[in-house]
Amino acid sequence: MKKAKWLFALAIAVLMALPLAAQKTELTFWTWRPEDTEKYEKLLATFEKQNPGITVKISAFKNTEYNTILSAALSGGSGPDVFQSRAYGGLETFAQSGYMESLEKWVPELKNFNKDVLRGATSVKDGKVYGVPFASQTLFVFYNKQIYKELGLKVPETWDEFLANCAAVKKAGYQPLANGGKEGWTLEVMMGSLCPNFYGANDFYDAVVAGKTTFQDPRFVSAIAKLKELTPYMPDLYMGVSYTDMQSAFINETAAHFIGGSFEAGYFASQNPKLDFDVFPGPTAKKGDPHYVSIYADGNFSMNAASKQKETAAKLLKFFAGKETGDFFIRELQQVSAVPGADTSASPYITKVLSFQKYSTPYIFLVGFRYNQPTGSTLIQAALQGFLAGKIDAAEVCKQVQEGIATYYEPFKKK
Amino acid sequence: MNKRTAERRWILFFISPALAVVFVIILLPLFMSLFNSLFSWKQLIRQDFIGLENFRKVFFTEPYKTRFFNALKNNGLWFIITMLIQNVGGLLIGYFLSRRVWAHEFYKRVIFIPVLFSIVAVGFLWSLYLRPNGLVNGFLKIVGLPQLTRAWLGDESIATFSIIFVNIWRWIGFPSLVFLAAIDNVPMDCLEAAWLDGATDRRVFFKVILPLIVPSILIITVLTIIGSLNVFEQIYTMAGLDGAPNFSTDTIGTLFYRTAFGSVDSGNPEIGIGSAIGVIIYLLTFLASVASIVGLGKKEVEL
């Protein structure tokens, strides 16, 4: 009898506890930006306030180890409910392995996103969208306004003006360009910033993706050859200059230009608040031509296909697709948010970057050719190192890239 | 009889934890990668059994072929240079230490200290020293040799040599101590007999000491082969996963990692091909070890 009473009490306790437990759901969220964890916590606090009963636990992993850790967790059947995912080829790996939930039905807001940016969250295999894009990146040239003012220089429009500025800066004893070539990817960025205006931006991109032309097209070869004209203005022994050397040369105001991506601005500003810098798009051959910039989607927020609480996870993703997150990316992270209609008034820099995007072209090897090994990026990075070191010429660079991609890229095989 | 079975059981009991660890951590992954290398992969999901197709790709088709043999060539370079400079140097250092040169105890410790450093720390610090405006080029400018300054890690033709040099700097203390111990173990009566017969130091070194320390030389050679096949951390910390610049520092270790796991900046994982390369590394290491055990056995009989 006594036992029954106890059981009854226990049952009531359990019944009372159940709704409480149901109310408090915990989502897990992974990011590859340990340096931004505190800022993300602030953003997610807003989400938790709007959705009482849901808490979000953030785990951050080092950028370079993130993919390995994430793929181990997902293939083991665990892993976070919502996670940052890479764009393009990096997305394909997880989407085609069946680890990502396609999001059209969960996040209808995706319809309003910029088509170019959404391409980074779309699988090329099945055309479904597997992520909410968070930022776009644009490649261009940073310059030190103080040095420009001191030497009375104007922002260059044409390639010749750019070279003339570099020469003037060199004469004054500054380093014209911060860029080096120890890490191949910084050379690919340089190519993406400067070459589209010479290879014919979108015309060439569309033709080469369709297999109507190759990378040995004279337009592309001559665009690559242009990069060699910059070597007199690069640092001494530039092939040994690493990414961190480049950053410190620009931050310490010893270099006047830094050819890079929109993602640098936040770091520049935080490392040297007194640094007075601005940006200009890659110079053109003729005055008055439109200045094309390479853009790409940086990454996405995705949902684990094996998540046990998809409805709740969808709430978080809708929040990530909303204006609050968009404003947060611009205000806190100084990133060009992918959310349509985000408020850019807080940042003249981002307003300027968005104005460059009027003439945008896909960052060619990342967007078009990073789906199989050897990726276009691998090939161009190594070949550009050989080129700038003077081991091979521009025609050979393009030949190596073409032959490497042709080993798997169907539209090239027919030729 | 009964006592022997009991004894066997006890032995089994004591070695089983170690065996279990070896099985789970070494043998199981080994067979898993062998297994994985026989399948085609769609991104991270295992697909169909394709036999030795992945191995055929590594050896015979572009682009894998070029990358693989380029990497293997660099492993060969590591072996040859390490043998010539590190091990010959180690032998000389060991010999001079054994001759009890002035302050030899001090030298012995100083030479061995870098062996205790972590590879990653050494790689990181030396990549700072070898920067275009780092310590090394700064030193060359101060001593009046500015024409010798180089982009040590950025120049295709010397990057591998720079990294090998750093590794020799780190590791030369090890062969030195092994050879020192071996030379100290050479029986005094052999040496005395040689000296009494009027042999010069040089003659004693080549005709008496060297033949008597052959087992140590063999051990160091085998360790060098295995070490050269497994070079990874040095490249990873000083040149990056892509074997930059232009694949000139690529080794089969970095090639394996890059292929199997992908690198953030430039590639997607190809687990089948990566596993095949992993198995090839294993086989090469295994062959080197077997050859060494056979070789060592023979030498011991000779002594």
Q: Which of B44, B264, B267 sits opposite A64 (nearest CB)?
A: B264
Nearest chain A alpha carbon to B129: A240
Distance CA(B269)–CA(A70), nearest Å, equals 13
Distance CA(A207)–CA(A203), nearest Å, equals 6
Token reading at B83? 């043998």
Pairing of strands A293-303, A132-144: antiparallel
Q: Which residues of A263-292 are buried (b: 16+ CB within 10 A; e: fewer)?
A: bbbbebeeeeeebebebbbbbbeeeeeebb
- How close B84 gets to chain A, by Cα (Å)? 27
- Contact at CB, A375 and B130, closer than 8 angstroms: no
In chain B, residues with a C-beta closer than 8 Å to the C-beta of A238 are 132, 151, 154
pLDDT tens for B163-210 read 999 999 999 999 999 999 999 999 888 889 998 998 888 999 988 899
pLDDT tens for B58-106 read 999 888 899 999 999 999 999 999 999 999 999 999 999 998 888 889 9
User: Quick check: B186 and B209 in contact, CB under 8 A?
Assistant: yes
Domain boundaries, chain B: 1-28, 37-302
Q: How confident is the model at residue B265, as a pLDDT?
A: 63
Q: Is the pLDDT of residue A321 over 90?
A: yes
For B37-302, CATH number? 1.10.3720.10
Q: How confident is the model at residue B301, as a pLDDT?
A: 45
Tell which residue, A267, A342, A263, has the closest CA to residue A296. A263
Candidates A68, A237, A399, A401: best to mutate against B (most CBs of B within 10 A) is: A237
ipTM exceeding cut-off 0.90 for this assembly: no
Lowest mean pLDDT among A5-14, A182-191, B77-86: A5-14
Show which residues on chain B lie within 8 Å of chain A, measured between beta carbons.
Answer: 42-45, 61-63, 67, 127, 130-133, 137, 149-156, 240, 242, 244-247, 259, 261-262, 264-270, 273
Q: Which of A92, A180, A183 sits opposite B43 (nearest CB)?
A: A92
Q: Which of B149, B244, B268 sits opposite A371 (nearest CB)?
A: B268
Q: Is the pLDDT of residue A54 over 80?
A: yes
Nearest chain A alpha carbon to B273: A373
- Contact at CB, A183 and B240, closer than 8 angstroms: yes
Which domains does chain A carry?
2-135+298-346 (3.40.190.10), 137-295+361-413 (3.40.190.10)
Distance CA(B97)–CA(B207), nearest Å, equals 19
- Contact at CB, A377 and B267, closer than 8 angstroms: yes
Lowest mean pLDDT among A257-261, A323-327, B296-300: B296-300
- Contact at CB, A374 and B149, closer than 8 angstroms: no
- Contact at CB, B240 and A373, closer than 8 angstroms: no
Q: Is the pLDDT of residue A18 over 60?
A: no
Q: Is the pLDDT of residue B299 over 70?
A: no
Residues forming a β-bridge with B110:
none
Q: How far is CA A145 from the centre of its chain?
A: 26
Identify the band that residue A72 occupies on the pLDDT scale cut at 50, 70 and 90: confident
User: What one-character-per-residue DSSP string does B47-87 give?
Assistant: EEE-TTHHHHHHHHSTTHHHHHHHHHHHHHHHHHHIIIIII
Candidates A373, A375, A380: best to mutate against B (most CBs of B within 10 A) is: A373
Nearest chain B alpha carbon to A96: B43
- Contact at CB, A389 and B45, closer than 8 angstroms: no
Distance CA(B12)–CA(B20), nearest Å, equals 11
Token reading at A240? 């040994």
- Contact at CB, B151 and A377, closer than 8 angstroms: no
In chain B, residues with a C-beta closer than 8 Å to the C-beta of A77 are none
Pairing of strands A360-362, A293-303: parallel
Q: Which of A96, A181, A375 sits opposite B43 (nearest CB)?
A: A96
Contacts 24+ apart (CB under 8 A), A320-323: A320/A82, A320/A132, A320/A134, A321/A107, A321/A109, A321/A110, A321/A113, A321/A132, A322/A109
- How close B152 gets to chain A, by Cα (Å)? 7
Residues forming a β-bridge with A261:
A139
Q: Is the pLDDT of residue A22 over 60?
A: no
Q: How confident is the model at residue A97, as a pLDDT?
A: 87
Tell which residue, A222, A335, A361, has the closest CA to residue A281. A361
Distance CA(A323)–CA(A341), nearest Å, equals 7
For the segment B236-241, the average pLDDT, to the nearest whole number, is 91
In chain B, residues with a C-beta closer than 8 Å to the C-beta of A374 are 63, 67, 267
Q: Which of B43, B132, B152 sits opposite A93 (nearest CB)?
A: B43
Q: How confident is the model at residue A11, as a pLDDT?
A: 61
